[in-house]
Structure 1
Amino acid sequence: MTTNQIANRLVELCRQGQFETAQKELFAKDCTSIEPQASAAFEKETKGLDAIIEKGKKWESMVQSVNKMEVSEPMVATNSFACTMHMDVTMKDKQHWDMTELCTYTVNKDGKIEVEQFFM
């Protein structure tokens, strides 16, 4: 797959809330996920597809409801792309989060996402 195809497929799956499917289909086994900062729930950096999938499951276990999810069209370069994700969620602890992240992705020579990084 080309970087453009990967970007469009990731956006398509994320808009459907199919994050784990996107990870299993598009991410390299040795990929890295970088958060804006470490928190009580998540490390700043998560390495490996299995660990990233577990991080996603942990996030889902904390969310009571997704009130809104919007993903922008991707901006694509040679081996990287970016999009924004806007999420309005209610957490199980009743906190309300309304946030937009800039999500960047780097694609390796094998056509798999090797690094994802999020910015607030």
Structure 2
Amino acid sequence: MTTQQTASRLVELCRSGDFETAQKDLFSNYAISIEPHATPAFDKETKGLDAILEKGKKFDSMVEKRHGITISDPLIATNSFACIMTMDVTMKEGGRMQMAELCVYEVKDGEVISEHFFM
């Protein structure tokens, strides 16, 4: 799969809210996920697909309601792509909030090997 194909599929799945399928289908078993900083809920770096999937489940457990999600078309480079994701969610603790982040993905051999989020 090319970087363009990987990016298009990831954006398609994420727009439908199917983050877990995107990760299972497109991420390397050795992928790394990097947050802007560590928080009480999440480490700065999460290594390995199983840990990334668990991180997604943990985030989902913190969300009371999803009101909307928007993901831009991807901007493609040779082995990487970026998109902007905005989410309107009500957290179980913290109330309703708008979250926006730049999501940068690195691709090798048709698989995502890293994701890096910038707020």
Whether the TM-score (by the shorter chain) exceeds 0.5 is yes
* SS of residue matched to 1:9: helix
Structure 1 match to 2:56? 56
Supply the distance in 1 between the matched residues of 2:99 and 2:23 (Cα, whole angstroms): 21
Q: Is 1:111 aligned to residue 110 of structure 2?
A: yes
Structure 2 match to 1:71? 71
Supply the distance in 2 between the matched residues of 1:64 and 1:12 (Cα, whole angstroms): 24
Give the TM-score normalised by the residue count of structure 2.
Answer: 0.98
Query: C-alpha root-mean-square deviation of aligned residues, in Å?
Result: 0.7
Once the two structures are superposed, residues 57-106 of structure 1 have per-residue CA deviations (whole angstroms, 9 ceiling, x without a partner) of 00000001111100000000000000000001001125222011000000
Where in structure 2 are the equivalents of 1:71-90 lying within 5 Å?
A: 71-90=71-90
Letter in 2 for 1:60: D
* SS of residue matched to 1:78: coil
Letter in 1 for 2:116: Q
* SS of residue matched to 1:73: coil
Structure 1: state its 5+ residue gaps.
none
Supply the distance in 2 between the matched residues of 1:59 and 1:106 (Cα, whole angstroms): 22
4+ long deviations beyond 3 Å? none
Give the TM-score normalised by the residue count of structure 1.
Answer: 0.97
Letter in 2 for 1:118: F
What is the aligned length? 119
Structure 2 match to 1:46? 46
Structure 2: state its 5+ residue gaps.
none
Fraction of identical pairs, as percent: 61
Supply the distance in 1 between the matched residues of 2:10 and 2:74 (Cα, whole angstroms): 9
